[in-house]
Amino acid sequence: MHEVQNLSSMATRSRPLPADPGLDEFIIATFGTIRRQFFIIMLFALIGATCGVIYLRITPPVYIAQAEILFDRGKIPSVQQQPILIDAPFDASYFDSQIKLLQSEGIALSVVRKLHLIEDPEFVGSGSSPAFFTIDAVSRFFHREQPKSESDLEQQALGVFIKKIEAKRIGITFVVELSFRSRYPERAAQIVNAVAEAYIADQMESKYEANRRTNDWLRDRLEELRRRVSADEQAVNSYKSENKIVNAGGTLISDQELVELNRELTSARAKTSEALARLDRIEAVIRMARLDAPVDANVSEALNSPIITKLRQEYLEYVNKEADFSARYGKDHVSVINLQNKIRDILISISRELRRLAEAAKSDYLIAKQRQESVERELASSVSQSQQTNKAQIILRDLESAAQSSRSLYNLFQQRLVESSVQQQAVLFNEARLVTPATVPRQKNSPKTLMILAVSIFGGMMLGGGLGFLREEMNRVFRSGKQVEKVLLAPCVALVPLQKKDAAQTASGQGAHTMPTESQIITYRSAVLSAPLSYFAEAIRSIKLAADLEEKKRSGTTVGLTSSLPNEGKSTIAVALAQLAAQVGRRVILVDFDLRNPSLTRMLAPSAKKGLIEVLYGQCSIREALWIDPATRMAFLPTVINRSLINTSEILASASTGSLFDQLRQNYELIAVDLPPIFPCVDVRATTHLVDFYFLVVEWGRTKINVVQHALNNASDIYDNLAGVVLNKTKIEYISRYDATESVYYCGKDYPRYGYME
């Protein structure tokens, strides 16, 4: 991952980044992987199917019998009294409890004993599987065990029984489904019905026993309460006699007297207050009365005195006459004076009447006050006596309350005993009843043949697919142009097909006779010459086109071909590219720059005596070292190695090599350089001042991705000048497994219509 990041950071040139893969590409890639790993997937599918068949052969069939139990209280016989034992409500917890009871050891043990399951090999044998039977037989052979007791057999059968039984509630209904698994259908139905019957019988027995215990307890408790009621009532009567407490009409006599005295005291206090108010009013009138003025009318009415009222009327008549006579006869007239004397006499009479009324009111007040004091004394005496009675009444109330509580409790228990006796008649009804008995199952429930086979085959295919994908991930090599562009961020200019050796090297003697015998002739013919309409030739044309475009872009004529590792076919590509360019009339020279392993020289000029090293050392001229292809007029500068060279990188980076390439650029339109691979040596990194752009040859399906990434990471100058990548030795027939687009191009049925053939 670190190398990939470094590699993308070196991509300083403006190269289009590959688009994110879409869903269609993901689907195509997945199907491609499946096609490539089809044999592995089918092999594991066959293995899975075989395992499924073996499992079906060694696994005995299992039958499941089912019965349904309904919990219904709607048909319980009507009982008017409130039930003694209140049943639990029909909620989720109730059904969970009943399901637990159906699967309990008590019910299971009763069925085991009733059906004698300790004699059934399915419950006390070696199990239902042949594997278990074999293990048990081997164990009994090596370990001579004593025969098991009946208790041990019951426990063993009980353990197997509980594992095979199952109960569950059906939805939100009042129905519980009971099921049992067995190797034999008749035995499964028999056991399910036996469990249901045992459960119903257990419910009835438990209810009957609970009612019986309740009745016994009620009778004992009722006798005890009867004795307590008798003792409490006797204590109440004795206390009343000792404290002389007598009730009249439900109320104590002392309490009645106290009520009457309170009523009389209230009346006496009201009369006293009324007399005192009248006395105070009369005295106030006397203090305010004057001899020359009569009593006010409101005061007269308040005093309620007819005498004063009459005198006041006479007074008013005389006053009116006196005023009339004074106006008519004068104030000194005898009639006026007589009237004034009568007015004065009336006022004196009113004053005397007021004093008399005051004395009468005072007498009434004293009488009322004496009556009030007498009633208060009688009330105080009655209260004192009532307090003593109330103290005794408190204790009496406690005694009566205790007696009443005992009587109420006694009556309640007596009623409950009657109700319990009535309920015993309905105890035989049980809300749980078997509505659907189990029948003998006709088909086995497991193992399901089709499902087992399907799961086995699918599991084998998934395992094979996983192994196939693992192989794909571990086999990290280049297999498509899109993969190259995505990983290396460089264009893949061509996919060169894998060439057969007899087609890759052909000799043509026709051109040899047209050249002088002393000339150095190349007899090697690549497929671009021997088979110009082949896939190989078309791929080389793609490389040439990319080189032509790069020449225009860079204004350079020197193209270098290198690879990450040896034997990736870069020399073959270099020869084909040079011959194709020379065939169209360009002046082309091919230079073998691999000073350590000149494989290109061994291919084109195996008998060469002079070459690049001799030209650089000045031992011969360029013309003397060149070899000529008579068919295309392509020139070739070989490299002859008579001894191992140590300073090859210095030779390639020397000034004489630069001068040589300057001379070649003047004489040739295209210089194709066969460079050494990047990994074994550093020579190729010393050619950046000589080569204008590079093509990286990668062997299809063999060169690891991380190797190429590491090689380009260590040769950043080469990567910066990389014109494209060539996938060499491509197996065209396998292209469709890795890239559907390229398979249409290389394997399309319309391709031969344009003259191409392989």
Q: What is the pLDDT of residues 26-69, one digit of tens each?
A: 676 677 777 777 888 888 889 988 998 898 888 888 888 888 88
- Beta strand pairing status for 670-674 and 558-563? parallel
Helices marked H in 59-91 — which ranges? none
User: Do 470 and 485 belong together in one domain?
Assistant: no
- Length of the chain (residues): 758
Minimum mean pLDDT among 40-54, 109-123, 314-328, 742-756: which range?
A: 742-756
Predicted confidence band of residue 592 (pLDDT cuts 50, 70, 90): very high
For residue 719, pLDDT over 50 is answered with yes
Of 578, 537, 539, 536, whose CA–CA distance to 558 is shortest? 578
Q: What is the pLDDT of residues 329-372, one digit of tens each?
A: 877 888 778 877 887 878 788 777 777 877 887 888 888 888 87
For residue 263, pLDDT over 50 is answered with yes
What's the longest Cα–Cα distance across the chain? 205
Q: Which residue, chain included where needed, has tokens 């300073």?
A: 647
User: Does residue 322 sit within a domain?
Assistant: yes
> What is the mean pLDDT of the segment spanning 573-597?
92
For residue 392, pLDDT over 80 is answered with no
Predicted confidence band of residue 145 (pLDDT cuts 50, 70, 90): low
Percentages of the chain per state (helix, strand, coil), in multiples of 5: 60, 10, 25
Q: Which amino acid makes up residue 689?
A: H
What average pLDDT does the structure give for the chain?
A: 78
Q: What is the pLDDT of residue 362?
A: 80
Predicted confidence band of residue 255 (pLDDT cuts 50, 70, 90): low
User: Do 330 and 258 belong together in one domain?
Assistant: yes
User: Do 453 and 493 belong together in one domain?
Assistant: no
Q: Which two tokens stand for residue 255?
A: 């309490």
Of 97, 396, 102, whose CA–CA distance to 242 is shortest? 396
Q: What is the pLDDT of residue 126?
A: 57
Q: What is the pLDDT of residue 581?
A: 93
Residue 167, classed as helix, strand or coil, is strand
User: Do 461 and 356 belong together in one domain?
Assistant: no
Q: What is the pLDDT of residue 426?
A: 52
Q: What is the pLDDT of residue 299?
A: 52
Predicted confidence band of residue 251 (pLDDT cuts 50, 70, 90): low
Q: What is the pLDDT of residue 14?
A: 40
Number of domains in the chain: 4
Q: What is the pLDDT of residue 9?
A: 42
Q: What is the pLDDT of residue 12?
A: 40
Of 158, 168, 163, 160, whose CA–CA distance to 66 is shortest? 168
- Beta strand pairing status for 722-730 and 492-497? parallel
Q: Which two tokens stand for residue 481?
A: 């142009």
> What is the mean pLDDT of the segment spanning 255-259?
70
User: Do 557 and 655 belong together in one domain?
Assistant: yes
For residue 5, pLDDT over 80 is answered with no
For 170, the domain range is 63-73+87-204+431-436
What pTM was computed for the model? 0.51
Alpha carbon separation from 94 to 112, 607, 703 (Å, rounded):
26, 102, 71
Q: Which residue has the higher pLDDT, 316 or 138?
A: 316
User: Does residue 81 sit within a domain?
Assistant: no
Q: What is the pLDDT of residue 390?
A: 65
User: Do 282 and 164 belong together in one domain?
Assistant: no
Using CA atoms, how far apart are residues 732 and 478, in angstroms rounded to an integer? 14
CATH code of the domain in which 552 resides: 3.40.50.300
User: Do 68 and 55 belong together in one domain?
Assistant: no
Q: What is the pLDDT of residues 186-242, one digit of tens each?
A: 988 899 899 988 888 888 888 777 777 877 787 778 788 778 878 877 777 777 666
Predicted confidence band of residue 295 (pLDDT cuts 50, 70, 90): low
For residue 1, pLDDT over 80 is answered with no
User: Does residue 235 sit within a domain?
Assistant: no
- What percent of the chain is predicted at pLDDT more than 70? 78
Q: Which two tokens stand for residue 184?
A: 């034999």
User: Do 311 and 335 belong together in one domain?
Assistant: yes
> What is the mean pLDDT of the segment spanning 519-533?
85
User: Do 280 and 180 belong together in one domain?
Assistant: no
> What is the mean pLDDT of the segment spanning 541-545?
92
Residue 370, classed as helix, strand or coil, is helix
> What is the mean pLDDT of the segment spanning 712-729?
91
Q: What is the pLDDT of residue 4?
A: 39
Q: Which amino acid makes up residue 44?
A: F
Final residue in a domain of this structure, among 405, 436, 467: 436
Radius of gyration of the chain (CA): 66
Q: Which amino acid makes up residue 215?
A: N
User: Does residue 212 sit within a domain?
Assistant: no
User: Does residue 219 sit within a domain?
Assistant: no
By CB neighbour count within 10 A (0-12 exposed, 13-18 middle, 19+ buried), where does 587 fall?
middle
For residue 104, pLDDT over 60 is answered with yes
User: Does residue 401 sit within a domain?
Assistant: yes
User: Does residue 241 sit within a domain?
Assistant: no
User: Do 100 and 153 belong together in one domain?
Assistant: yes
Q: What is the pLDDT of residue 697?
A: 95
Predicted confidence band of residue 276 (pLDDT cuts 50, 70, 90): confident
Alpha carbon separation from 688 to 13, 675, 717, 718 (Å, rounded):
16, 11, 7, 7
Predicted confidence band of residue 512 (pLDDT cuts 50, 70, 90): very low
Residues 6+ apart with CB under 8 A from 64: 179, 180, 181, 188, 441, 445
User: Do 372 and 470 belong together in one domain?
Assistant: no
Q: Which two tokens stand for residue 235?
A: 């204590």
Q: What is the pLDDT of residues 610-634, one digit of tens each?
A: 999 999 988 899 999 999 999 899 9
User: Does residue 12 sit within a domain?
Assistant: no
In degrees and rounded to multiples of 5, residue 320 shows phi and psi of -65, -45
The secondary element (H helix, E strand) that includes residue 135 is helix 130-142
User: Do 197 and 155 belong together in one domain?
Assistant: yes
* CB-CB contact of 377 with 213 (8 Å): no
Using CA atoms, how far apart are residues 453 and 44, in angstroms rounded to an integer? 13
Q: Which amino acid makes up residue 536?
A: F
Q: What is the DSSP string of 541-602?
A: HHHHHHHHHHHHHHT--EEEEEESSTTSSHHHHHHHHHHHHHHTT--EEEEE--SS--HHHH
Q: How far does CA 345 lie from the centroid of its chain?
A: 117
